[in-house]
């Protein structure tokens, strides 16, 4: 910390927070007797709280966001210069950073063509849903309007995103939901025994075939889109089983269903490729991204489509409704694409995709070694620096441990100055996966510190 805060400043901030801030995802009763945590400063992989305590951040800002780490002056300077030149103009016009970043992005996404700017992952996903709906109206008399989503996936916080949300505990009390969203089963092989009819062999193909079953039951002429996370994040870090994506792609082609990949977490390096879907040879029609696009240095989200999807909104210029009649006010902020450009250059110049792959393997091995030591770890999984450890009360029955014990592990790590995450209040009875997503700059020493803390915490909580 730079010492700019003295005790009086800090207690005033804490009191103002206690009096006026409504924290995200938080029950506030405990703040009547304890201080809310305030993060004051960050550098590299580390952040400092109001007491000056240093933490290593194994979750990139809590929610998989600060991919290039804290304190990047280069991004701040570029954003400052751009804000002085032009901070904003509505997205019906273009901007210099908007064009330049779109070109860089499309260069990393062969087969994709158009970038629609907005300001959150939820909003980008909503745009995708709106496109499916409008295409249904334009081409199919409104019939092919249903959007499939998967059990355990999450696509955002608005009512329609929750309607596409496969996390029942997260959705509870927010209904009624938007019509026309239909759930398909998850593809978590570790829990395949809980799914009726799941085979021991070729589970991935079977799991994808369940999507086809839903399409057939709903009627293929009613299904317009399928929205999936490439690797499910908050639903338990679910890496797809072998054969899954190939089959999903075939099914989408067969029934003329638009494939919308939600890269809000995986996008821009998290799994060691620019986008998560690129591990699996998928050709999406729409890709949404947000968090890591500018590593949280500015708010930016993008919906990227193929030229074929784009063309559907311009083919008849005489029809007054034949364009995407949508706007995002803050999609016109220039800070987002400016930060996105610098963020992408940093990833390239510092070879962070390779580092993510290498450090991901290192961390996966370290977590497997932990599993040898702690029977409570039922499975370790993940891709790149996007990893999870599912905790079970019993390895043979795979009964999940209670969420409060998982939270004790998180709290114990926090006490050691290590911030890790866990699935929380999302999946009834299944909030039992520890989540790790350190910045893409992580080094072996950082990972050792994180894994050592988890080792100690598991030893204490499950003694």
Ligand X SMILES: Cc1ncc(COP(=O)(O)O)c(C=O)c1O
d(CA 422, CA 432): 7
| Burial category of 41 from C-beta neighbours within 10 Å (exposed 0-12, middle 13-18, buried 19 and up) | middle
Q: Is the peptide bond before 176 cis (omega within 30 degrees of 0)?
A: yes
Structure tokens at 336: 């987002």
* Contacts within 8 Å (CB) and 24+ apart, 23-28: 25/424
Q: Return the residue nearest ligand X (CB atom).
A: 121
Per rule CB under 6 A, is residue 265 in the interface with ligand X?
yes
Q: Is 255 helix (H, G, I), strand (E, B) or coil?
A: coil
User: In this complex, which beta carbon is closest to ligand X, that of residue 206 or of residue 296?
Assistant: 296
Q: What binding mask, one character per residue, do residues 216-235 give for ligand X by CB under 6 A, x or -?
A: -------------x---xx-
Count of all residues that appear for the chain in the document: 463
User: In this complex, which beta carbon is closest to ligand X, that of residue 121 or of residue 337?
Assistant: 121
Among 17, 71, 104, 157, binds ligand X (CB under 6 A): 157
Per rule CB under 6 A, is residue 330 in the interface with ligand X?
no
Q: Give the dihedral sign, CA 337/343/349/352.
A: negative
Per rule CB under 6 A, is residue 152 in the interface with ligand X?
no
Per rule CB under 6 A, is residue 262 in the interface with ligand X?
yes
Q: How far is the CB of 445 from ligand X (least distance, A)?
A: 28
Per rule CB under 6 A, is residue 156 in the interface with ligand X?
yes
d(CA 232, CA 376): 22
Q: Where are the beta strands (DSSP E) in 162-242?
A: 181-184, 223-228
Q: 335-349 and 96-107 helices cross at what angle (nearest 10)?
A: 40
Contact 132, 198 (CB under 8 A): no
* CA 182 to each of CA 54, 199, 219, 220, 249: distance values in angstroms, whole numbers, following the listed order: 45, 24, 12, 13, 18
Per rule CB under 6 A, is residue 277 in the interface with ligand X?
no
Question: How many residues bind to ligand X according to rule CB under 6 A?
Answer: 16
Q: Is 320 helix (H, G, I), strand (E, B) or coil?
A: coil
Tell me the sheet residues that pair with 238: 232
Q: What binding mask, one character per residue, do residues 99-128 give for ligand X by CB under 6 A, x or -?
A: ---------------------xxx--x---
Q: How far is the CB of 68 from ligand X (least distance, A)?
A: 18
Per rule CB under 6 A, is residue 147 in the interface with ligand X?
no
Per rule CB under 6 A, is residue 63 in the interface with ligand X?
yes
Among 148, 188, 264, 304, binds ligand X (CB under 6 A): 264
What is the 8-class DSSP label of residue 239?
P
Among 78, 238, 290, 377, binds ligand X (CB under 6 A): 290
d(CA 134, CA 313): 9
98-114 residues labelled b (16+ CB within 10 A) or e (exposed): beebbebbeebbeebeb
Per rule CB under 6 A, is residue 424 in the interface with ligand X?
no
Per rule CB under 6 A, is residue 272 in the interface with ligand X?
no
Q: How far is the CB of 143 from ligand X (least distance, A)?
A: 27
d(CA 423, CA 433): 6
User: In this complex, which beta carbon is closest to ligand X, that of residue 50 or of residue 433?
Assistant: 433
Per rule CB under 6 A, is residue 300 in the interface with ligand X?
no
Q: How far is the CB of 84 from ligand X (least distance, A)?
A: 27
Q: Which stretch binds ligand X (CB under 6 A): 30-38, 103-111, 136-144, 154-162?
A: 154-162
User: In this complex, which beta carbon is closest to ligand X, that of residue 79 or of residue 290?
Assistant: 290
Q: How far is the CB of 267 from ligand X (least distance, A)?
A: 9
Per rule CB under 6 A, is residue 155 in the interface with ligand X?
yes
Q: How far is the CB of 220 from ligand X (least distance, A)?
A: 26
User: In this complex, which beta carbon is closest to ligand X, that of residue 156 or of residue 224?
Assistant: 156
Contact 375, 262 (CB under 8 A): no
Residues of this chain that bind ligand X (CB under 6 A)? 63, 120-122, 125, 154-157, 229, 233-234, 262, 264-265, 290
């Amino acid at each position: 910390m730079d010492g700019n805060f003295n005790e009086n400043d800090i207690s005033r901030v804490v009191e103002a927070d206690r009096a006026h801030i409504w924290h995200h995802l938080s029950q506030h009763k405990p703040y009547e007797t304890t201080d809310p945590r305030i993060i004051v400063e960050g550098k590299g992989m580390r952040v400092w709280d109001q007491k000056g305590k240093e933490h290593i951040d194994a979750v990139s800002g809590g929610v998989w966001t600060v991919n290039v780490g804290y304190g990047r002056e280069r991004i701040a300077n570029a954003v400052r210069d751009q804000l002085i030149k032009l901070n904003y103009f509505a997205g019906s016009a273009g901007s210099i950073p908007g064009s330049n970043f779109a070109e860089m992005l499309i260069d990393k996404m062969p087969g994709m063509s158009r970038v629609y700017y907005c300001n959150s992952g939820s909003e980008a996903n909503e745009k995708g849903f709106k496109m499916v709906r409008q295409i249904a109206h334009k081409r199919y008399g409104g019939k092919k309007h249903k959007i499939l989503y998967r059990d355990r996936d999450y696509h955002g916080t608005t009512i329609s995103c929750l309607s596409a949300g496969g996390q029942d505990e997260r959705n509870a009390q927010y209904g009624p939901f938007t019509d026309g969203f239909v759930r398909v089963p998850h593809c978590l092989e570790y829990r395949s025994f809980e799914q009726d009819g799941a085979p021991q062999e070729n589970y991935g193909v079977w799991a994808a075939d369940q999507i086809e079953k839903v399409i057939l039951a709903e009627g293929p002429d009613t299904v317009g889109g399928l929205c999936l996370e490439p690797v499910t994040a908050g639903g338990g870090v679910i890496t797809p089983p072998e054969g899954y994506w190939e089959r999903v792609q075939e099914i989408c082609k067969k029934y003329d269903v638009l494939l919308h990949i939600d890269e809000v977490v995986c996008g821009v390096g998290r799994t060691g490729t620019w986008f998560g879907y690129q591990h699996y040879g998928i050709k999406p029609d729409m890709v949404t991204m947000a968090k890591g696009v500018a590593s949280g240095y500015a708010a930016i989200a993008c919906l990227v489509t193929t030229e074929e999807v784009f063309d559907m909104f311009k083919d008849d210029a005489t029809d007054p409704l034949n364009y995407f009649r949508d706007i995002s006010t803050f999609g016109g902020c220039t800070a987002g694409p400016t930060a996105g450009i610098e963020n992408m250059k940093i990833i390239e110049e510092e070879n962070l995709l390779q580092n993510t792959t290498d450090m991901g393997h290192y961390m996966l091995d370290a977590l497997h070694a932990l599993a040898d030591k702690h029977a409570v770890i039922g499975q370790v999984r993940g891709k790149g620096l996007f990893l999870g450890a599912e905790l079970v009360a019993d390895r043979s029955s795979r009964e999940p441990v209670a969420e409060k014990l998982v939270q004790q592990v998180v709290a114990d790590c926090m006490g050691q100055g290590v911030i890790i995450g866990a699935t929380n209040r999302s999946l009834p009875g299944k909030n039992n996966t520890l989540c790790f997503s350190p910045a893409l700059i992580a080094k072996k020493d950082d990972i050792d510190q994180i894994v050592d803390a988890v080792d100690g915490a598991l030893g204490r909580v499950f003694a």
